[in-house]
Amino acid sequence: MRTPPRRTRAGAYALAATLLLGLAGAPGADAATDRRHRATTLDDLAQKSGRYFGSAVDNPELADTPYADLLGTEFGSTTPGNTMKWEATEPQRGVFNYAGGDEIVNYAQSKGLSVRGHTLLWHNQLPGWLTSGTWTADELRSILKNHITNVVTHYKGKVFAWDVANEIMNEDGTYRDSIFYKTLGPGYVADALRWARAADPKVKLYLNDYNVEATGAKSDAYYTLIKRLKADGVPIDGFGMQAHLALQYGFPNQMQQNIQRFADLGLDVALTELDIRMILPTDPAKLAQQADMYGRVTDACLAVRRCVGITVWGYSDRHSWIPPVFPGEGAALPWDENLQHKPAYDTIAASLAAAARKKKG
């Protein structure tokens, strides 16, 4: 697909401002009658083009009232950062604990947000009883089936999508040598998808990973896998590109074309964990580069009809995972630590506003 010419960012800001003012004055846009959205929210604009705009959240952040209030008004969906993962949901074999995940689901329901489930199957954050055990293939298959069935059944009707299998590939396109792959072989992915579908026939089922935004060995491996799964009749509805990006590595080449080729397999595509970090300290040039990249990511999604939504991995630098994991890096999100917009917010809004105007026209 030919990439359309990119707008200048100055023109895009003006376009966004014009459309936002128009939306604010539109019939039925009275804030008193709109429980969640003002016309200026990112999700409101995303919905105008048939998409959602969401943010992840972790349970301790709900106690930060200003942060939680903004999450509940600016966004249309949320993803629990940690409390639907295996170590949280099944800390002892056969003993399930949904308190953390339920807290986020209840918060989301109170704010009118939808929820992406994350994640049923991952090589990290597994409970000690699972990783320290010596399991036969039959035993581990039974454990995995029981876990997926219980978790998906518990959240049936409460989440609209599940990251069923997360980060199953290495950078070179080989399977990650996880406990599941070592014991069960590659067929565990198809089994996980089938079990999830059996537990909730209506939920969207995704594979999800990082460093798959560009074309290359890792995204090629997912493309080949998903094509084979679909040929074998295995239920899969979507592919999640996490989009943990960094200024020093530049924009991922052919992102729009890569999204398009997965969509052409009959999949929904979602950008599931977007952030764009930089080497600290910040300066105007870095913030401008970050803003441009956020705009380009948003444009890439908006250019593909089946790119259904964007989720930032936390929306503010106040609660970002980046500094502890990448020392000396941070400032990765569209809001700063004081919950104020950064230039990145404006480029996202501009892209969404332009798409909304185009659809309306």
Active site amino acids: 167, 273
Measured CA to CA, the distance from residue 20 to residue 33 in angstroms comes to 18
> 122: closest CA among 80, 164, 81?
164
> What are 169's strand-pairing partners?
175
Q: Which among 119, 237, 120, 216 is positioned nearest to 169, based on CA atoms?
A: 216
Token pair listed for 212: 């798959």
- The DSSP string of 112-178 is T-EEEEEEEE-SSS--HHHHT----HHHHHHHHHHHHHHHHHHTTTT-SEEEEEES-B-TTSSBP--
Eight-state DSSP code of residue 59: G
CA pair distance 241, 264, nearest whole angstrom: 15
Per-position b or e across 207-244, b if 16+ CB within 10 A of its CB: bbbbbbbbbbebbebbbebbeebeeeebbbbbbbbbbb
SS3 345: helix
Q: Both tokens of residue 221?
A: 């491996």
What torsion, rounded to 10 degrees, do the Cα atoms 113, 115, 116, 117 define?
A: 160
Whole-angstrom distance, CA of residue 88 vs CA of residue 129: 13
Burial 320-350 (b: 16+ CB within 10 A, else e): bbbeeeeeebbbbbbbbeeeeebbbbbbbbb
**How far apart are alpha carbons 40 and 23 in whole angstroms?**
8
